[in-house]
A = this chain, B = another copy of it.
């Protein structure tokens, strides 16, 4: 007792102190098999005295599992990703798994990082445009259950997404209802599968209604500053669009700021819409499309858990509904449709 031992006690020391075998200590601790009450008591006492905590590595190695799973996402910045990750962590932890996170954004060689992550977990979810499909397939082939989130299906993997398609169509219909005909799309459809879908549906909806979609999107990153710069360019240019459809709320928020700077009134001079329905959208009066972020994360965690438990059920694909949230930035409305 005298000198505190810095080293963690091992199961051997506990066994020795009690005068039993390590097998008995293990059994007493996990309650997996018969152990005499008195023996168990003495084991627990020794555990207490020695401050023994079983090594997670030893356990995992012996059990052949990590009791952990991971989530890969492009970036945690922005409310969207963090909400999804939170939803994920919440149920993963509930199901007894530790969660490892990996943000690939801007990192060199994300593939290596993802493969590395795959070696420390029993399962993982890959979100959005993080690594190439080939890498995902490679991970899945190593036997690590994988579920895809907000990204196009790859092979026979469970995939969960939000309904970008209907969301975009409803948004376009609403805007057309306001009478707008000249549109611009802000954001880069190539950097996120979700946005690819949204942009595609946006164009399709316009075409279906007999209107010509813009020639090309105004490419910009998905943050406020990039949206701000892109919007300035578009709004200051010739033949100003009547409506700016933005890839996400951050871009739209930047666009709102740009419009204000240019002395333009929203929605009178230009309508602006976002996507995600982040908190700021509400205060900016931004019309947007709501995504069930927590639920996306939670569902992914649950599905992954099923697969890790060995489920051989048919591949699951689900598209969670989105909801058009009409606020003031898209045009005049008689009554507040949403708050």
Whether B61 contacts A224 by the Cβ 8 Å rule is no
Whether A61 contacts B68 by the Cβ 8 Å rule is no
Taking the complex as formed, is A268 at the interface, i.e. its CB lies under 8 A from any CB of chain B? no
Taking the complex as formed, is A57 at the interface, i.e. its CB lies under 8 A from any CB of chain B? yes
Taking the complex as formed, is A119 at the interface, i.e. its CB lies under 8 A from any CB of chain B? yes
Among B61, B101, B107, B250, the residue within 8 A (CB) of A99 is B101
Taking the complex as formed, is A30 at the interface, i.e. its CB lies under 8 A from any CB of chain B? no
Bound CA span A279–B286, Å: 14
Taking the complex as formed, is A117 at the interface, i.e. its CB lies under 8 A from any CB of chain B? yes
| Of A75-83, A127-135, A167-175, A236-244, the one with at least 4 CB within 8 A of chain B | A75-83
Whether A89 contacts B60 by the Cβ 8 Å rule is no
Tell whether A86 pairs with B76 under 8 Å between CB atoms, given A99-B102, A142-B53: yes
Q: Which residues of B contact A264 (CB under 8 A)?
A: none
B interface footprint on A105-148 (CB within 8 Å = 1, 0 otherwise): 00100000101110110000000000000000000011100000
Among B8, B76, B119, B284, the residue within 8 A (CB) of A283 is B284
Q: Which residues of B contact A23 (CB under 8 A)?
A: none
Taking the complex as formed, is A319 at the interface, i.e. its CB lies under 8 A from any CB of chain B? no
Tell whether A102 pairs with B98 under 8 Å between CB atoms, given A77-B86, A85-B76, A279-B280: yes
Tell whether A103 pairs with B93 under 8 Å between CB atoms, given A55-B119, A143-B6: yes
Residues 253-292 of A contacting B (Cβ, < 8 Å): 253, 256, 278-280, 282-284
> Nearest Cβ in chain B — how far from A273, in angstroms?
15
Number of copies: 2
Which single residue of chain B is at the shortest CB-CB distance from A77? B86
Chain A interface residue count, CB cutoff 8 Å, equals 53
Taking the complex as formed, is A90 at the interface, i.e. its CB lies under 8 A from any CB of chain B? yes
Whether B53 contacts A115 by the Cβ 8 Å rule is yes
Taking the complex as formed, is A56 at the interface, i.e. its CB lies under 8 A from any CB of chain B? yes
Q: Which residues of B contact A85 (CB under 8 A)?
A: 76, 82, 101
Bound CA span A100–B98, Å: 7
Q: Which residues of B contact A212 (CB under 8 A)?
A: none
Q: Which residues of B contact A119 (CB under 8 A)?
A: 53-56
Whether B77 contacts A83 by the Cβ 8 Å rule is yes
Taking the complex as formed, is A58 at the interface, i.e. its CB lies under 8 A from any CB of chain B? yes
Taking the complex as formed, is A16 at the interface, i.e. its CB lies under 8 A from any CB of chain B? no
Q: What are 27 A-B residue pairs whose CB atoms fall within 8 Å in the complex? A: A6-B143, A8-B143, A51-B142, A53-B119, A56-B66, A56-B119, A57-B57, A57-B60, A57-B61, A61-B61, A76-B85, A76-B89, A77-B82, A77-B86, A79-B79, A81-B82, A82-B86, A85-B101, A89-B101, A93-B102, A93-B107, A93-B113, A98-B100, A98-B102, A224-B279, A250-B279, A280-B284
Closest CB pairs A-B (n = 10): A82-B82, A280-B280, A76-B86, A283-B284, A56-B119, A57-B61, A56-B120, A279-B280, A283-B283, A57-B60
